[in-house]
């Protein structure tokens, strides 16, 4: 057993990151200043989008995207139940209704055929999630969206740096949402971004994050003006200069972070695909995942223990396993508000019952990965039927 607890995800912060933050602390602008624009421009260039708009979290970015898409009371948006609650909650923030569709058995991403069955005259948007960092089925989803006049908001909070059919995630959907929470590929503590090629969405998002005001304080100062106009009901969802400086620095290491995650995933997959009782994450052809998570599924028929026992045994080995996700419709809030009882989305629910996320982050050492492999072999081996 390893001597210290290994979390499932963790940030890496180096001296250059700290210096960049300290420099901003000594400057004139702590919140919306030059670092915001620099971070947004560098980010947009990295993901291949014309615009990137920073917001205070991935959740705020989702809220902004749903707002910019024009969702309101009476509208519906189709999304996956196998995600973090924020993906569906952002639809509720706008008074609209999230409608869940089941997922594909291999990737656990939103199933395009199931989406088709959920489209109604009220549907305004589709919110696919790139589960674990594997891009959603964007081509058929966009095709369906174009046919019905819907907006696609891709929740790519897991997928910064992923590629789909040779294109970068962030350059494909109408709006793509990212998170900079510490377990993600780059961090600003809390933080989020919307990437889009649509100038109107970009303008609305810039206003939405700043109370609905049509200019920011720095623009007014440099123009020598006091006048401003509030043109829509926005929020204070700004990402401060202090952390945009951190984001800019972190972005320089994105490629190295991705390479390390891909290396660890390749080692895990090579080892775990040989172990009876384990199902490794699927990778579709023409996709380069970003490996935010490494979720294995248990093949219960080949094991003598249930998921909870295996989870506890791995935790007892100091391996910080986790489960992503309890399907959103099974949370008490959704059950009570919408009457879900379980059984509505059999593929997502079956996936959930078997899932365990193993530690996966770019700062993991080879020894950390060896410890995960040794613990999984030991625990799963001891509960194997064969």
Ligand X SMILES: Cc1ncc(COP(=O)(O)O)c(C=O)c1O
Q: Which residues are catalytic?
A: 184
Closest approach of Cβ 381 to ligand X, in Å?
31
Rounded CA separation 318/311 (Å): 11
| Residue range at the interface with ligand X (CB under 6 A); choices 32-40, 58-66, 163-171, 363-371 | 58-66
158, 185, 238, 329: residue in contact with ligand X (rule CB under 6 A): 158
11, 32, 54, 57: residue in contact with ligand X (rule CB under 6 A): 57
Q: Considering the rule CB under 6 A, would residue 361 count as an interface residue with ligand X?
A: no
Closest approach of Cβ 254 to ligand X, in Å?
17
> Which has the closest alpha carbon to 57: 270, 236, 217?
236
Closest approach of Cβ 325 to ligand X, in Å?
8
31, 83, 197, 357: residue in contact with ligand X (rule CB under 6 A): 83
Q: φ and ψ at 66, to 5 degrees?
A: -65, -35
Element housing 222 (H / E): helix 217-223
Q: Considering the rule CB under 6 A, would residue 192 count as an interface residue with ligand X?
A: yes
31, 79, 80, 87: residue in contact with ligand X (rule CB under 6 A): 87
Q: Considering the rule CB under 6 A, would residue 86 count as an interface residue with ligand X?
A: yes
Q: φ and ψ at 296, to 5 degrees?
A: -95, 155
Binding residues for ligand X, how many (CB under 6 A)? 15
The answer to whether residues 56 and 191 touch, using CB atoms and an 8 Å cutoff, is yes
The answer to whether residues 367 and 359 touch, using CB atoms and an 8 Å cutoff, is no
Query: Which CB sits closer to ligand X, 112 or 192?
Result: 192
Q: Considering the rule CB under 6 A, would residue 98 count as an interface residue with ligand X?
A: no
Closest approach of Cβ 112 to ligand X, in Å?
19
Q: Considering the rule CB under 6 A, would residue 169 count as an interface residue with ligand X?
A: no
Q: Considering the rule CB under 6 A, would residue 185 count as an interface residue with ligand X?
A: no
Q: How far is CA 268 from CA 41, 366, 377, in A?
A: 35, 12, 11
Query: Which CB sits closer to ligand X, 110 or 275?
Result: 110
Q: Considering the rule CB under 6 A, would residue 58 count as an interface residue with ligand X?
A: yes
Rounded CA separation 218/93 (Å): 29
The partner residues of 51 in beta bridges, in order of sequence, read: 196
Strand 192-196 with 51-55, pairing: antiparallel
Lateral strand order in the sheet of 294-298:
278-279, 294-298, 355-358
Closest approach of Cβ 256 to ligand X, in Å?
22
Element housing 77 (H / E): strand 76-79
Residues 6+ away with beta carbon under 8 Å from 352:
82, 323, 325, 326, 327, 330
84, 268, 311, 345: residue in contact with ligand X (rule CB under 6 A): 84
| Residue range at the interface with ligand X (CB under 6 A); choices 153-161, 232-240, 280-288, 344-352 | 153-161
Closest approach of Cβ 23 to ligand X, in Å?
25
11, 32, 59, 250: residue in contact with ligand X (rule CB under 6 A): 59
Query: Which CB sits closer to ligand X, 79 or 97?
Result: 79
| Residue range at the interface with ligand X (CB under 6 A); choices 56-64, 167-175, 201-209, 242-250 | 56-64
Closest approach of Cβ 129 to ligand X, in Å?
5
Closest approach of Cβ 367 to ligand X, in Å?
27
CB atoms within 10 A of CB 197: 18
Contacts 24+ apart (CB under 8 A), 98-104: 98/127, 98/328, 99/123, 100/328, 100/329, 100/344, 100/345, 101/345, 102/345, 102/346, 102/347, 102/348, 103/131, 103/345, 103/347, 103/348, 103/351, 104/137, 104/347
47, 129, 132, 290: residue in contact with ligand X (rule CB under 6 A): 129
Query: Which CB sits closer to ligand X, 57 or 250?
Result: 57
For ligand X, the nearest residue by Cβ is: 58
**Runs of H (alpha helix) within 235-331:** 241-251, 254-272, 307-316
Query: Which CB sits closer to ligand X, 11 or 83?
Result: 83
The partner residues of 98 in beta bridges, in order of sequence, read: 77
- Chain residues that interact with ligand X, rule: CB under 6 A: 57-59, 62, 83-84, 86-87, 129, 155, 157-158, 179, 181, 192
């Amino acid at each position: 057993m390893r001597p210290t607890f290994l979390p499932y995800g963790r940030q890496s912060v180096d001296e250059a990151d700290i210096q960049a933050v300290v420099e901003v602390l000594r400057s004139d602008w702590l919140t919306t200043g030059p670092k915001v624009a620099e971070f947004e421009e560098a980010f947009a260039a990295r993901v291949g989008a014309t615009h990137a708009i920073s917001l205070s979290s991935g959740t705020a970015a989702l809220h902004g995207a749903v707002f910019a898409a024009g969702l309101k009371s009476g509208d519906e948006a189709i999304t996956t139940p196998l995600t973090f609650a924020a993906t569906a909650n952002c639809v509720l923030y706008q008074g609209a209704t999230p409608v869940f569709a089941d997922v594909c058995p291999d990737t656990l991403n939103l199933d395009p055929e199931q989406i088709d069955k959920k489209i109604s005259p009220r549907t305004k948007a589709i919110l696919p999630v790139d589960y674990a960092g594997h891009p959603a089925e964007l081509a058929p989803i966009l095709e369906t969206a174009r046919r019905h006049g819907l907006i696609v908001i891709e929740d790519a909070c897991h997928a910064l740096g992923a590629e789909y059919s040779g294109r970068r995630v962030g350059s494909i959907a109408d709006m793509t949402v990212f998170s900079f929470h510490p377990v993600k590929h780059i961090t600003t503590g809390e933080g989020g971004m919307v990437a889009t090629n649509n100038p109107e969405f970009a303008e609305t998002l810039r206003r939405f994050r700043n109370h609905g005001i049509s200019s920011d304080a720095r623009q007014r100062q440099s123009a020598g003006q006091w006048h401003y106009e509030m043109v829509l009901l926005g929020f204070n969802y700004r990402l401060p200069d202090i952390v945009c400086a951190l984001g800019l620095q972190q972005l320089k290491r994105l490629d190295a972070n991705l390479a390390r995650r891909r290396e660890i995933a390749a080692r895990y997959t090579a080892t775990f695909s040989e172990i009876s009782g384990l199902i490794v994450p699927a990778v579709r052809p023409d996709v380069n995942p970003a490996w935010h998570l490494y979720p294995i599924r248990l093949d219960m028929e080949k094991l003598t223990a249930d998921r909870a026992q295996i989870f506890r045994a791995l935790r007892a080995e100091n391996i910080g396993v986790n489960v992503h996700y309890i399907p959103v419709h099974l949370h008490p809030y959704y059950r009570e508000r919408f009457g879900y009882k379980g059984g509505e989305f059999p593929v997502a629910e079956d996936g959930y019952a078997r899932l365990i996320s193993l530690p996966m982050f770019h700062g993991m050492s080879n020894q950390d990965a060896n410890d995960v492999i040794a613990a999984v072999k030991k625990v799963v081996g001891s509960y194997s039927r064969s």
